[in-house]
Chains A and B, each alone.
Chain A
């Protein structure tokens, strides 16, 4: 019954999403919903025969798919007229809905059915299936003319940033409110070293490493004096750095360095010297104008990456994410990673066990910053221009949102969190804006006679204005309802709900505990 209910919910949500995008979107949304349903519901089931699970899931999948298709057809026949657009051609409708329905049913039953296999097998097959989806996505996107890839790339940039921040917040338990500063350092390093502005043009494949090292170096330099601070004071200091760094990049436009002895101190005693000037009015960062253009990566066979073709960029960022996930996994399971978690749980106890808290935290800070260096380099090359306003406080908080939403301390959680939050921000809100705008102009707005009210309604029905609300609500609601995130790390979950999980486990296993409880 519970399964059926989530199937219906998913179907309705997915169907409503087709209202925003129209056309072929029903096929993609249906398949993605199938994957989500299969993964989500499957893992909650008991392990038994795969075919039996698939059979159990089939009604739910069919219901979800039917709801999706019904809503999608309703959209094409009625809603498109209401918002003053042409309905999609009949062949797209037939095939789109067919693929959407089949995608829902097949992926739901398939992924849920995989849960019936032994755990190792299940993991393997799920990985393969996901890999196929990830590889196929940009091509499907191109075929269906949805143009989502460019926005997904942004989401993936934030996934890398989230993964890096997760080391600091999730593993080491240090709240870093200025993480965007390292992102900025990575991006500006790339900008300055591969742009004709300063006449230095180093190949992207080298610059991305320099950017990572620079970010790590700054993480080290900023962390070294501040990490002895605890908890919220550390958070405020990092917030301070996060605020100072963009200000520096914005304002380093007339750098002048003069040797003080020759220029000021000696003339004070009436000794004539020639003033030694190292740099005079040097425009280092170009302020608000930003640095552009920035060199792009190129590969043999493919040639230079073009902004018109997001597919190459998509695979580049997927490669960077895979590399990052690999490194972070190894780090997490290493001696250092275990030291981070020990410090997160209890710094005093960890220090007693011979872990140097400051050194360990410093390593978390520097390594966390490294990944934002990658993200920054990619971002700079992809946008081919960087502006200081991108890296302000709100960017740091958005990255924090990604980590919190997905699940503190969990790599998969951060990836899901980044994808959900950033596609909501970059795909869903703009589409909703267009949808609402055209819906209003064709329905309510003409009937309002008062021009002031008309303008007020029109201006306020713009969901992009409510972006910050989206992030703010994410933080507040997650903290209140599910502080461990959508896909929690088992340890963090146990820590945040001390009353639930461990008691159940302990009670079942040791009679000792029962005695203690009675007494």
Chain B
């Protein structure tokens, strides 16, 4: 045994070289021009840190949405296609609440804070109920149908909710800032946090005094902190509470859980409620952070989050969080160094590569026939 020295694998080396060569040769077509990217990083290393900050903040939002996908998949093995769109509804709900309560026009910090908290609660409750309703209407009766039936139903639900978002974005009488351009255009989500901190007299950029050409804003911190709080809460809920235990049991083996007296319907409804609530919270956060509301934003966010969930190992809550941050970083670097127009394709390519080479994700266990 001692004598078998590991031989240098020429074949592997040749293939690796060839792949590398092809990446260098054809990469620039899709914006992956490594020399240019390397030069850009060398010229301005601080920019890398900036993209890191943006990536982590966006990744926090992606991670929260990814939790909804991963929890639902863990329990009923369904890709809840409509989940990204529930998040989009969360953005519109919070924007509408902010508009109706008059928070958008307000300059009073107390009123803004109260309005934001109120919007957060309404968005969470509304999206939670919406998500559970979707499950009740579109998935429950298909629980024992062939596997693809609920998936198709989910795609249909996604279309319906996107259409609701499109209609919502056209209601200028409800939210005057939507304007008269119709529902299809991107709407502005006012920068309430910026207004809030300006009215308090704080500088929103925490690194302004350091003299570096970097922006680490209170918004970034707030998004990350809120995300970490929500995720920790969820983790504790699933690990410590009775309902969380029932959820894990159902995820492991639905029939056995049923035999032990767990009310499956209740557990599944609870899962959808929690996932929807998280999507609603993510909606308000994303609106405040990225300052846009668009009926189609749920599709892109859904894809990124689903990719994150798969990357982390679908069904695995910790994996979902990890995947979310990684995808956020990937998207941010792609936006910054390659070109924003390729980001979606790049995220998708990542998804395809993960599914092909490691379908269990980073932290997932072998699921065998399930996938």
Contact = CB atoms under 8 A, between A and B. Distances in A.
A468 B182 contact: no
A379 B163 CA distance: 27
Nearest to A394: B159
Interface stretch (A109-117, A235-243, A298-306, A360-368): A235-243
Contacts of B166: 465, 468
Contacts of A455: 172-173, 180
Interface stretch (A72-80, A419-427, A472-480): A472-480
A229 B359 contact: yes
A399 B243 CA distance: 41
Given A250-B341, A259-B25, A473-B160, A244 B348 contact: yes
A289 B26 CA distance: 24
Interface in B348-368: 348-349, 351-352, 355-356, 359
A476 B157 contact: yes
Given A237-B355, A244-B345, A247-B342, A260 B21 contact: yes
A475 B148 contact: no
Given A255-B29, A475-B159, A456 B349 contact: no
Of the candidates A232, A235, A393, the one having the most CB atoms from chain B within 10 angstroms of its own CB is: A232
B102 interface: no
B151 A251 contact: no
22 contacts: A175-B152, A229-B356, A232-B148, A233-B355, A236-B306, A237-B356, A244-B348, A244-B349, A256-B28, A257-B25, A257-B26, A260-B25, A394-B159, A465-B170, A466-B167, A469-B159, A469-B160, A473-B160, A476-B153, A479-B138, A479-B152, A495-B146
Given A264-B35, A459-B182, A479-B142, A472 B29 contact: no
A247 B344 contact: yes
A258 B158 CA distance: 42
A479 B153 contact: yes
A280 B162 CA distance: 40
Contacts of B306: 236
Interface residues of A, number: 57
B360 to A, nearest CB: 11
Contacts of A475: 152-153, 155-156, 159
A506 interface: no
A397 B159 CA distance: 9
B141 interface: yes
A240 B345 CA distance: 8
A156 interface: no
B67 to A, nearest CB: 18
B152 A400 contact: yes
Contacts of A241: 348, 352
Contacts of B259: none
A472 B173 contact: no
B371 interface: yes
Given A233-B355, A235-B148, A236-B355, A476 B137 contact: yes
A15 interface: no
Nearest to A258: B28
Contact of A248 (B147, B160, B345): B345
Contacts of A264: 24, 35
Contacts of A177: 155
B256 interface: no
Given A236-B79, A475-B156, A469 B148 contact: no
B173 A465 contact: no
Given A235-B148, A251-B341, 18 more contacts: A225-B356, A231-B148, A233-B371, A237-B356, A241-B348, A247-B341, A251-B339, A252-B29, A400-B155, A455-B180, A459-B170, A465-B170, A472-B155, A476-B157, A476-B160, A479-B145, A479-B150, A480-B141
Contacts of B182: 459
Contacts of A230: 369, 371
B189 interface: no
Nearest to B35: A264
Contact of B160 (A257, A453, A472): A472
Nearest to A268: B35
Interface string B103-141: 000000000000000000000000000000000011001
A352 to B, nearest CB: 15
B29 A226 contact: no
A496 interface: yes
Contacts of A483: 145, 149
A452 B174 CA distance: 10
B364 to A, nearest CB: 12
B320 interface: no
B156 A476 contact: yes
Nearest to A450: B173
Nearest to A259: B25
A236 to B, nearest CB: 7
A471 interface: yes
B142 A243 contact: no
B72 to A, nearest CB: 12
A465 B167 CA distance: 7
Contacts of A225: 356
Given A233-B371, A247-B345, A175 B26 contact: no
B303 interface: yes
Nearest to A238: B352
Given A237-B351, A248-B345, A257-B25, A393 B172 contact: no
A243 B170 contact: no
Nearest to B27: A260
A393 B352 CA distance: 16
Interface in B12-31: 21, 24-26, 28-30
Interface in A237-294: 237, 240-241, 243-244, 247-248, 250-252, 255-260, 263-264
Contacts of A233: 355, 359, 371
Given A177-B155, A233-B355, A251 B142 contact: no
Report the 5 A-B pairs with minimum CB-CB distance, sorted nearest first. A475-B156, A472-B159, A260-B24, A472-B160, A476-B156
Nearest to B369: A230
